[in-house]
A = this chain, B = another copy of it.
Amino acid sequence: MKAVRMVVGAGMALAVLAGSTVQAAPKKELPPKPSVGDIVKESKAADWRPLDLENTLYMDLPGGRVVIELAPTFAPLHAANIKALAREQYFDGLVILRSQDNFVVQWGDPDEKNPRQPKKAKMTLPGEFTVPLKNDTKFTRMKDVDGYAPQVGHSNGFPVGRDPKAGTTWLAHCYAMVGVGRDTDADSGGGTALYVVTGQAPRQLDRNITVVGRVVSGMPLLSTVARGPAPMGFFDKPEMQVPIKAFRVAADVAEGERSNFEVMRTESATFQKVVEATRNRGGPWTKVAAGHVDLCAAPIPVREAK
């Protein structure tokens, strides 16, 4: 099917077919190269790590399960507090209350006047917008230019930016990254309102809000939530809300009910091959290799563990 091949593949190098005035272009094929799928298929067991059950959340929605990996290195206070909220069943029975096209889907308490109060967990925490570079020992840098950060790359399965002069590093707002809603005050978030990126990376939020993790499975359950008609995608009718059946720390879930995923180790040589396969695709479908990959366009492979 024509359609099937629209996406990957490769072909003529520099095939500049120029519209109304078609330029005669050298029809030299790009040599075939392993695709991301090929590299994943040929990877070794050591290239993968299982999710840490203590830092994995399951959000069970009517349509299925969303699996979130927390990043305590980058937001230790918030990761701990969100787990405490989960263990209080804080989110159970709350809802997805916002879906803004090409931006975020958000969940929490829709009752602004009389919001649910945590029992022992905190409502607010100091913002964790960046952490000292030294806190992150797993950074692998990408050579690709980035407009939002002096350096970009990956750390333990998460996309990150860093600023060596300021001595800071932070999680980047790529697709599927999970952040903590806050009010105007930097310290007004705590984890009771969470959002996930569902469109073009809103990197202007980097260093302005606490990012706590990444959805590693179940993104379609969030990305297809009907967009809200009120300003910023909020739902103006309760029937638009999607109920959260349960929100649990994976370690607290019975073994037989757990999801079992592995993430490719971003410090592995295999992951570097994945990035390179995205940066410079081979033929025959691709005619011009990009020679570049944006931080948020580099896939971080996840698979079900055997």
Interface of A with B (CB < 8 Å)?
A: 1-7, 9, 11-12, 15-23, 74-77, 97-98, 100-104, 106, 108, 112, 126-132, 135, 144-148, 166, 168, 174-176, 179, 181-189, 192-193, 195, 199-204, 206-209, 219-220, 223-227, 231-232, 234, 278, 281, 284-288, 290, 292-294, 296-297
Contacts and interface: CB of A to CB of B under 8 A. Distances in A.
Contacts of A20: 76-77, 131, 135
A147 B148 contact: no
Contact of A290 (B6, B203, B234, B294): B203
A231 B280 CA distance: 22
A128 B17 contact: yes
A172 to B, nearest CB: 12
Given A206-B290, A226-B224, A6 B186 contact: no
Given A147-B144, A184-B284, A220-B226, A22 B234 contact: no
Contacts of A127: 15, 17
A174 B297 CA distance: 12
A159 to B, nearest CB: 11
B219 A77 contact: no
Complex A-B, nearest 5 residue pairs according to Cβ-Cβ distance, in ascending order? A147-B292, A19-B131, A220-B227, A6-B181, A17-B127
B297 A16 contact: no
A197 B192 CA distance: 32
B1 A112 contact: yes
A68 to B, nearest CB: 16
Which of A6, A102, A209 neighbours the largest number of chain B CB atoms within 10 Å of its CB?
A6
A286 B255 CA distance: 43
A186 B232 CA distance: 40
A290 B173 CA distance: 13
Given A3-B193, A4-B234, A293-B204, A101 B219 contact: yes
B232 A12 contact: no
A19 B128 contact: yes
Given A1-B112, A106-B6, A186 B128 contact: no
Given A102-B223, A182-B6, A287-B207, A187 B135 contact: no
